Amino acid sequence: MGAYQVLIVGAGFAGSEAAYRLAREGVRVGLLTQSLDSVMMPFLPPRPPFPEGSLLERAYDPADERLWAFHARAKYLLEAERNLHLFQATATGLLLEGHGVVGVSTWEGPPVRAERVVLAVGSFLGARLRIGEVEEEAGRLSEASYPDLFQHLLALGFRFLEREGEVPETPTTPGYRVRYRAFHPEEWEAATFRLLRLEGLYALGLCVREGDYALMSQEGLRLAEHLLHELG
């Protein structure tokens, strides 16, 4: 594939939902995420109600609440969409031309070009995960948070708030907390999802607003509707 019409960074609940809907409407979408093993990976099992017709609803199986099984069903649905290219890479910065964003640079090397770039990076900007006395750079259990993209955004002048989330102990995982950065509300326009500092740049999901899986999915669908309108 050449340049994407829309490139989404982060295949979590919000980014995956948006990519799925856009691709089903015929938009050429790239969905770039740092690990294919964590596509749409929940902290705890999702619980309905979910937005009707959403990817979240399709991937949910009340008879099988295993997190890995939910992730596998969602990934399969994404991979089966012909206009959607799901691939593993870590975004390290934005490619800029004038005041506009034309893609992202990646840790792996090849730049990825797109007409529009959406940051849907969840709890991974400047993230610190704490289990008891142990602290590490991670946005979720077993998933590192790399500093490059966050440092790049800081250097461009973006402002952030600090947020925190907690995961209770379960029979198979320890309890832990994640501290992360979200874009400052003045950087983001809720109606258009735009990060106002640069043209062609949008943000979605937990990196701009708090909420549960259903809200993240709803926001993904709302972004898709907005971009479909913009793309005509």
Where does this chain bind ligand FAD (CB under 6 A)? 9-15, 32-35, 38, 43-44, 90-91, 120-124, 143, 149, 165-167, 178, 205-206, 211-213, 216
178/131 Cα distance (integer angstroms): 9
Query: Nearer Cβ to ligand FAD, position 137 or 230?
Result: 137
CB of 90 to ligand FAD, least distance (A): 4
CB of 122 to ligand FAD, least distance (A): 2
Query: Nearer Cβ to ligand FAD, position 172 or 232?
Result: 172
CB of 83 to ligand FAD, least distance (A): 20
Query: Nearer Cβ to ligand FAD, position 26 or 44?
Result: 44
Query: Nearer Cβ to ligand FAD, position 33 or 54?
Result: 33
Q: Helix-strand-coil percent breakdown of the chain, rounded to 5?
A: 30, 30, 40
148/199 Cα distance (integer angstroms): 21
Find, among 25, 22, 24, the residue nearest to 6 by Cα.
22
Query: Nearer Cβ to ligand FAD, position 51 or 211?
Result: 211
Q: Is 163 helix (H, G, I), strand (E, B) or coil?
A: strand
Q: Where are the beta strands (DSSP E) in 53-203?
A: 84-88, 91-97, 100-106, 112-119, 128-131, 134-136, 138-140, 143-144, 160-167, 176-183, 188-189, 194-195, 201-203
Query: Nearer Cβ to ligand FAD, position 81 or 90?
Result: 90
CB of 125 to ligand FAD, least distance (A): 7
Pairing of strands 143-144, 138-140: antiparallel
CB of 99 to ligand FAD, least distance (A): 22
CB of 33 to ligand FAD, least distance (A): 4
What are 126's two structure tokens?
């400047």
List, in order, residues 6 or more apart from 174 with CB less than 8 Å away.
131, 132
